[in-house]
Amino acid sequence: MSHEGPVPQSDGLTRLSIDATSDAVRTALAEACGIWASQAADPDLCAAAEQVLAEVLNNVVEHAQAGKSDGTVLLDTAVRGGKVHCAVLDDGVELPDLQLPPGHRAVIGDDLHSLPEGGFGWFMIRAMTHSLSYDRANGWNHLEFSIIHNKSA
């Protein structure tokens, strides 16, 4: 699927089509930040939303779409009532047990070599979102979330 740039939707959302690569995620994040700024989200809200969206899209690329070359990832987003709303749709593998991962904070012990190098993503998503839901239908993952100012600032 080729990159087409932002497409306005009839319901006020803007849609981005994103290739399932980490470089395409970078491009999409820059475009999403542009959309939010143009819809009067302040810089702190944009930064928080970018952080969450990065973790969500990285998960999609690294897990749901892993090993697929022709996958589709879509983002529908808008700023409404001081919140950034995002819906991420992708046709990859479903989340384990069709559920959002618990996203516990990674445990930091005293031993240097047991320090976690991963497992931060879902914790950050849960800590920084105002609402978060997941649905699987007709072979598509549908992850929806909103971000407000100052959640875990």
Partner 1 sequence: MQLERQDYGEAILITVNEPRIDAAVAIQFKDRLRELAGDSPARVVLDLKKVEFLDSSGLGAVVAAMKYLGSDRKLELAGLTKTVEKVFRLTRMDTVFKIHNNTGEALAGLAHVA
Decide: is 64 part of the binding site for partner 1 (CB under 8 A).
Answer: no
State the Cα–Cα distance between residues 151 and 124, nearest whole angstrom. 11
Binding mask 98-137 for partner 1 (x = CB under 8 A): -------xx-x---xx-xxxx-xx-xx--xx---------
84 binds partner 1 (CB under 8 A): no
Cβ of residue 93: shortest distance to partner 1, in angstroms? 18
**Cβ distance to partner 1 smaller for residue 105 or 136:** 105
The token duo for 35 is: 């959309």
On the 0-12 / 13-18 / 19+ scale of CB atoms within 10 A, 73 is buried
- In the chain, how many H helices and how many E strands? 3, 6
What type of residue sits at position 119? G
Taking the C-alpha atoms of residue 9 and residue 116, their distance in angstroms, rounded to an integer, is: 41
| Angle in degrees, CA 120, 140, 32, rounded to 5 | 55
Of 11 and 110, CB closest to partner 1: 110
- Binding positions for partner 1, 36-55, rule CB under 8 A: 47, 50-51, 54-55
* Choices 1-9, 11-19, 22-30, 132-140; region in contact with partner 1 by CB under 8 A: 22-30
Residue closer to partner 1 (CB basis): 23 or 97: 23
Strand partners, 146: 85, 131
Question: Which amino acid is located at 140 in the chain?
Answer: W
Q: Could you list the residues that contact partner 1 (CB under 8 A)?
A: 22-23, 25-26, 47, 50-51, 54-55, 58, 61-62, 105-106, 108, 112-113, 115-118, 120-121, 123-124, 127-128, 152-153
